[in-house]
Amino acid sequence: MNENTTIGTMPILALRGLVVFPEQTIHFEVGRIKSVLALEAAMKKDQMLLLMPQKDIEKDDPGLRDLYQMGTVAKVKQILRGQGETIRVLVKGLYRARIQELTQNEPHLFGVVASVPQTEVTDNLSSRALRREANNLYGKYLELADHQAQPVLLKMLSSGDCGFLADSIGQNSGMDFEDKMQLLMQLHPVRRLEKAVRLLQKEIEMVRLESSIHEKTRYNIDQQQRDYYLREQMRAIRDELGEEEDNEFAQLEKKILLLKLPEDVEEKLLKDLSRLKKQPFGSSEASVLRNYLDVVLELPWNNKTKERIDVSAARKVLEKDHFGLEKVKERILETIAVRQMAPENPAQIICLVGPPGVGKTSIAYSIARSLNRKMARLSLGGIHDEADIRGHRKTYVGAMPGRIMTAITQAGSSNPLLLLDEVDKMGSDYRGDPSAALLEVLDSEQNKTYRDNYLEIPFDLSDVMFIATANTMDTIPRPLLDRMEIIELGSYTDEEKLMIGKKHLLPKQMQKHGLKKAQLRITDDAIRDMISCYTRESGVRNLERQLAKLCRKVDMELLQGDCGKRITVNGSNLEQYLGTRKYLPDRLPLTDQIGLVTGLAWTSVGGEVLEVEVNIMDGSGKLELTGNLGDVMKESAHAALSYIRANAAALGVPEDFYKTKDIHVHFPEGAVPKDGPSAGVTVCTAMVSALTGVTVRSDVAMTGEISIRGRVLPIGGLKEKTMAALRHGIRTVIIPKDNERDLEEIDPTVRQALNFVSAQTVDAVLDTALNRGVGELTPTLLKAIPEEVKEKCRKPGIRQ
């Protein structure tokens, strides 16, 4: 390749988004002042100037760094001045060149220019084939692009220069600016033509795609124009003949009139139908109106199911579908009885509150079946937008009615039962508060004229029966909670789970897995082990999953034929089917110990026993609390310590223990968060036992909040806690005096098996839980013991 040859100085003109190739003629517009001055300077001299493409087309005043390294020396052929300051110029490219030195930047670019010759190559068979391929491709391109460049094609066909062909293709095609610059900067003619062929093939595919898109678009437009023209002709013909329109508009009008809607509603719908008739076919407004009318007419305005209000029939349905939950069933039957006695009153709005898996949703389905009402379920968990409840304005793109009206449409009845599931899990953000939108829905005084934002017409919801479900009442807003009748569902006892598993879950899973009664037998002990060792829940969902898992294993064994035609599952072989037991029963201390007390706790999956351990060490009076405790539980421990310090003498505790002893209170299972005030008496008993050295009865469990004056305050979750005590072999349970009224709600099996001791003060708790002699009893209990009993206890051989 020859070296660059300096050819002298000349004006330099920067091009934006344009490339000029050698031996190519092109015209373009010049508008920048620098470019116009460079053009005038060239015309004054020899009409020669260097055309240099700039890298960033948005830069208005480019410098040397803003220009590409390669450009084209061109000769100005013609200049035409148009309106304003724009000049149209015709140039012919001569040869490639680059800037050797920029000598002037103002008022226009000027510098020393050096030519860049292309690499010399010899003609051979390969280059001829490449030229033929390039000519053929360019011919196809001209046909597809409808490009008027026949003279260029003739020059290309008669040329034997690969470089000229590549430059001609680059100049006279729709390639991208960057692709053209690659061709300009490639000095080897054959390689340049090879690159041009590849880029031209890509351009041909692009043109084909554009042509296909254009044809489809033109066809759609032509079809719409044809349909519009024909519809207008049909309308004009009907007007001339005086015939009514027998089309969708007439059918819509007929549907509106047949519904016998209130006068204002009917008038609005007919007005919207009239607007729809005037809309041109295919317009966006016509689509909105048509969808709106379709949604309104799909609503069950006058469709009602005949309600069956019969308490005895409802009782049969509830007893068949659910085991246990006697108080819940009774409360639901009372609601139905009120409905039977006063059917004109609006239906009560019920909220079923309870832990997961206890049957809240299935109870709602049973109520709908017993009342012969159609049912629709609305899942409200995670909803943050008020428009989900009330709907969107129909002016928005993709607008739709709210979930309430959508559910009524799905039910197909104007008096369905709507289940508002997970009402406690709604949220709120900048889009509104969905719970506030529910206030109107659940208010019997307001929902007679409920207006959805999309419908904009009133709909009567007074005949709809609403049942909500929730896991907790804490997260339900107070105004919404005030509109609902609360029915609480507690945890199932182990005996209830056993009966549910035997009577409901096991037959269901056996049928689902194709098993007959003669093929599988599961003993009661096996089901009890499933409940205690494989599930830990308030409801029965996981129990059903374990039964399904066992049925799958049995299916496999029966098909393999290794175990005969009948399989019996009992407690001894249960692990073969369900694997190692996940939960082992909590091991309570076998002997009475010092500083170790069994408490009772409530969790979302039922009750649990909770051990409290206390160690006393020489120190300076520090209190250490461990076991992942919450603030309320820590405060209960401090309250217990305050009571012990204030009553140290009466309790038999050294009065200076808070100066000379450190107390460490620990709750095992430190990975599990714990909180709540109900462990106050448990902590206090453990501290007194550790400080006095008196052992605590291992068969006693307790629960209750403590005050700094020694009062035992009431707690919640007593039903679940007592079931946990029975499950873990506890014989005596100490409860607050104020919780005696809650014993009526406890399962009779639990009441008969446990001995309940009610305590109003901490003294009563300590007298029951600690293994004290007569001399160690608190003054309160000591006064209540007759003298003859005291004398018998003082005799030798009698345990005090």
Give me 637's structure tokens.
């421990």
- Tell me the residue type at 64: L
604 is catalytic: no
- Residue 314 parent element (H or E): helix 311-321
> Using CA atoms, how far apart are residues 524 and 520, in angstroms rounded to an integer?
13
Name the active-site residue from 678, 689, 698, 719. Answer: 678
Is residue 380 within 8 A of residue 422, CB to CB? The reply is yes
Residue 606 burial by CB count (10 A; 0-12/13-18/19+): exposed, middle or buried? buried
Beta bridge partners of 104: 110
Instruction: Residue 645: count other Cβ atoms within 10 Å of its Cβ.
Output: 15
Q: Considering Cα of 67, then 69, then 75, then 78, what sign does the dihedral take?
A: negative
Which DSSP letter does residue 770 get? B
Pairing of strands 350-353, 465-470: parallel
Please state whether the peptide bond connecting residue 416 to the residue before it is cis, i.e. omega within 30 degrees of 0: no
Token reading at 204: 């041909």
539: which 2 tokens? 């409801």
- Report the C-alpha gap between 474 and 384 in whole angstroms: 18
Q: Rounded to the nearest 10 degrees, how much is the dihedral formed by the CA atoms of 649, 651, 657, 663? A: -160
Strand-pairing partners, residue 71, are: 97
Cα 539 to Cα 249: distance, rounded to the nearest angstrom: 55
- CA pseudo-torsion sign 237, 239, 244, 246: positive
> What's 110's DSSP letter?
E
- The distance of Cα 54 from the centroid of its chain, to the nearest Å, equals 50
Cα separation, 523 vs 581, in Å, equals 17
Is residue 530 within 8 A of residue 571, CB to CB? The reply is no
Pairing mode of beta strands 350-353, 109-115: unpaired
Q: Which of 543, 565, 569 is nearest to 323 (CA)?
A: 543
CB distance 540 to 362 below 8 Å: no
Whether 779 contacts 652, CB under 8 Å = no
Cis peptide before 477 (omega within 30 of 0): no
18: nearest Cα among 200, 141, 178: 178
Query: 21, 72 in Cβ contact below 8 A?
Result: yes
Residue pair 728/586 in contact (Cβ under 8 Å)? The answer is: yes
Q: How many residues make up the chain in this entry?
A: 800
| 267 to 401, 515, 748: CA distances (angstroms) | 21, 61, 63
Separate counts of helices (H) and strands (E) for the chain: 30, 24
Q: Is 721 marked active-site?
A: yes
CA gap 652, 688 in Å, rounded = 9
Note whether 467 and 417 are within 8 A (CB): yes
Q: Provide the H-helix boundaries in 70-176.
A: 125-145, 150-158, 162-171
Q: Which amino acid appears at position 240 of this protein?
A: E
Phi, psi of 476 (to 5 degrees): -85, 125
Under DSSP, is residue 692 helix (H, G, I), strand (E, B) or coil?
helix
465-470 β-sheet, strand order? 375-379, 417-421, 465-470, 350-353, 485-488
Q: Which two tokens mark 5? A: 């040859």
Which active-site residues does the annotation give?
678, 721
